[in-house]
Amino acid sequence: MIITMIALLKDNIQRTIGLPIPAGNCTSFSDLLFEKTFDKKDILVEEGQNCKHIYFITEGSCYSYITDDKGDTHAIQFALEGYWISDLYSFFSGKKSIYTVEALEPTKALVLNKESFQKACDTMPIFDKYFRVLIQNAFVALQYRLAKTNSEDAEHRYSEFSKLHPDFVQRIPQYLIASYLGIKPQSLSRIRKELANKK
Partner DNA sequence: CGGTCTCTTGACGGAGTTCAAAGCTAGTGG
Partner DNA sequence: CCACTAGCTTTGAACTCCGTCAAGAGACCG
Contact residues toward DNA (CB under 7 A) are 153-155, 173-175, 182-193
Distance CA 90, CA 98 (A): 7
User: Treating both helix axes as pointing N-terminal to C-terminal, what angle do 154-164 and 185-198 enclose, rounded to 10 degrees?
Assistant: 80
Which of residues 4, 27, 150, 170 is near a second copy by CB under 8 A? 150
- Is residue 146 near a second copy by the rule CB under 8 A? yes
At a CB cut-off of 8 Å and minimum separation 6, what does 7 contact? none
169 CA to centre of own chain: 15
Distances (CA, A) of 75 to 5, 35, 68, 178: 26, 25, 11, 9
Q: Is 76 in the site for a second copy (CB under 8 A)?
A: yes
3-state secondary structure of 53: strand
Distance CA 67, CA 167 (A): 26
Instruction: Provide, rounded to whole angstroms, the least separation between the CB of residue 175 and DNA.
Output: 3
Round to whole Å and give the CA distance between 152 and 196.
19
Q: Which does 79 bind (CB under 5 to 8 A by kind): DNA, a second copy, none?
A: none
Smallest gap from Cβ 59 to a second copy, in A, equals 25
174 interface partner picked from DNA, a second copy, none, CB below 5 to 8 A per type: DNA
- Return the one option of a second copy, DNA, none that residue 112 interacts with (CB less than 5 to 8 A, by type): none
Residue span binding a second copy (CB under 8 A) among the ranges 19-27, 48-56, 100-108, 149-157: 149-157
Could you say whether residue 170 binds a second copy (CB under 8 A)? no
Are 80 and 168 contacting, i.e. CB atoms less than 8 angstroms apart?
Answer: yes
41 or 163: CB nearest DNA: 41
Q: Which residues bind a second copy (CB under 8 A)?
A: 66, 68, 72, 74, 76-77, 88-89, 92-93, 98-99, 132, 135-136, 138-140, 142-147, 149-152, 179, 182
